[in-house]
Amino acid sequence: MNKNNSYMLMLMLLILACSPKVRTGDAQQIKLSASYTEAPFIKGLEQNPLIQVRIYVTAGSSITFTSIKCRLNEQAIKNIARVDLLMRDDKERGSLRDAKVLGSAENLSANTEIPIKLTLEPGLHFIWLSPVLKAEADIDDKISIRAAALIEGKSEHEILTNLNPGFANRLGIAIRKAGDDGVNTYRIPGLIRTDKGTLVAVYDVRYKNSGDLPGNIDVGMNRSSDGGHSWEPMKIIMDMGPPHENNGVGDPAILFDPQTNKLWIAALWSKGNRSIAGSEPGLSPDITGQFVLVNSKDDGQTWSAPISITSQVKNPSWHLYFNGPGNGIAMLDGTLVFPSQYWDESRKPGIPYASVVYSKDHGNTWKSGTGAKSNTTESQVVETTPGTLMLNMRDNRGKFRSVATTKDMGKTWLEHPTSVRDLPDPVAMGSIIKARVNVKGEMKDVLFFSNVASQTARQNTTIKASLDLGETWLPANQLLLDSRTSYGYSILSQIDDHTIGILYEGERDLYFMRIPVKDIIKQFPK
């Protein structure tokens, strides 16, 4: 071997000795894998632990890791303020609110390394990558973060995953978070768009706990003038006054009247124990819960005092009558419609029936339809063809949504062929809207539906589309937004010709997302 060749060989050996050793989980020491949650990274949250790394240290000595390598796409680099590495004992499940931060990275690049000092004994361990979004993050973007490798001294352990290479997490924004303004829980979303393009969101402000009425609950509101990218501060718009601990109002629904440009909100007022369990036959607020309304003439900036329409719509023999939460509609002929529910005169609290209330004079007077189906409660309504209303109902029997139609404002109902068949549901609130949107370059009337798409658990928040006004719901035309377990309620609203907005519950929080129509609709019915 000549002198030059000898020199090159020594140089190569030196480089190899100094280079990190890439190992796909040494079978004698460590096994690594990563799992990714199909859910959005939420702007405004200090934790987004959607990437879990599972570390199994086999029998033997402990191992100390000095960093973790991550791969980020351009949108991630643009929108993320920092990436934290979290750890909570050695258990797979449970709250991460009190998790320890092992390390953080702020100066992000395509190949970001988070320095840590993590010594693990033999056994199973879990850590989480948790990005925190910038205040100016664009919620229309999708970001990709990959847990690539754990570094042990000079050795690099590859983190294995079977993740689809094209997978990326969507972004959303927290309109309300548990603890904001000293409030324990925000629940029961409603959402509507006005003629000015303003989005108006309403919800329960549950001050003391997460429980339903009766309790200390008001109705809060936020407005957005930029399609949901940012939101004005909360305003309390329905408060029935003292004693607050025993005088709550909640379960709001909102509609917009395009002929008068007036917003209307319906809600249930419980003066004392006058919610579902405590209401009695009668009309007085001292006896039964009240169906109350407020309205706004200035695009949601100011609101009227509450008025009760209970005497107009409730049969005095019923135990309770109030709205279905979410939104209402204005029909083509100008009729205003809120979904509703009444609890009949049978043994307390009665059997519930979903129905509708409507006004032919733009909110001056109101009438009620009859029950569409027994043992149904929270519902949403759309006008499929002129004069035909479709009621999509929570059914206490479970597993599926019930659906019925009426052509006479709820005097008579016909159960729809898709009822208890096409839309799985775990007994929760869902949302249905009719929107005229751009589908592959052509304007079409489409029904969009959202709920927690499971028969048993409140998980898998999903949007579905029907291009034939609810006759079919093709499996291809649906989009899973958030696979996590949640409180489960959601509400939809059209934002523009190409975009649908959804406001939905996490656990005590309310999240908003903008979803392109093209991401939902992928197939036309035959």
The catalytic position among 152, 156, 378, 505 is 378
316: alpha, beta or left? (left if phi > 0; alpha if psi -120 to 50): alpha
Tell me if the bond preceding 214 is cis, omega within 30° of 0: yes
Residue 352: strand pairing partners: 343
Q: Identify the three-state secondary structure at position 312.
A: helix
Give the total residue count for the chain: 526
Token pair listed for 17: 């000795």
For residue 495, the 8-state DSSP code is: E
Given a contact cutoff of 8 angstroms between Cβ atoms, the answer to whether 327 and 192 are in contact is: yes
Residue 378 bears catalytic tag = yes
CA dihedral 122, 126, 132, 133 (to 10 degrees): 130
Neighbours of 135 (CB within 10 A): 8
Which tokens sit at 498? 């190409």
In the block, tokens 């008025």 appear at: 307
> Dihedral angle at the C-alpha atoms of 173, 177, 180, 183, nearest 10 degrees?
150
Q: What is the distance between the alpha carbons of residues 139 and 482, in angstroms, rounded to a whole number?
A: 15
Using CA atoms, how far apart are residues 174 and 96, in angstroms rounded to an integer?
Answer: 18
Cβ neighbors of 347 (< 8 A, separation 6 or more) are none
SS (H, E, C) 69-134: EEEECHHHHHHEEEEEEEECCCCCCCCCCCCEEEEEECCCCCEEEEEEEEEECCEEEEEEEEEEEC
Q: Residue 8: in which H helix or E strand, if any?
A: helix 3-18
Distances (CA, A) of 162 to 12, 34, 36, 150, 169: 34, 8, 10, 17, 16
- Mention every residue, 6+ apart, whose C-beta is less than 8 A from residue 24: 157, 158, 160
**One-letter identity of residue 296:** S
Contacts of 229 (CB under 8 A, 6+ apart): 138, 139, 173, 514
Paired sense of beta strands 399-400 and 431-439, if any: unpaired
- What residues are annotated to the active site? 378
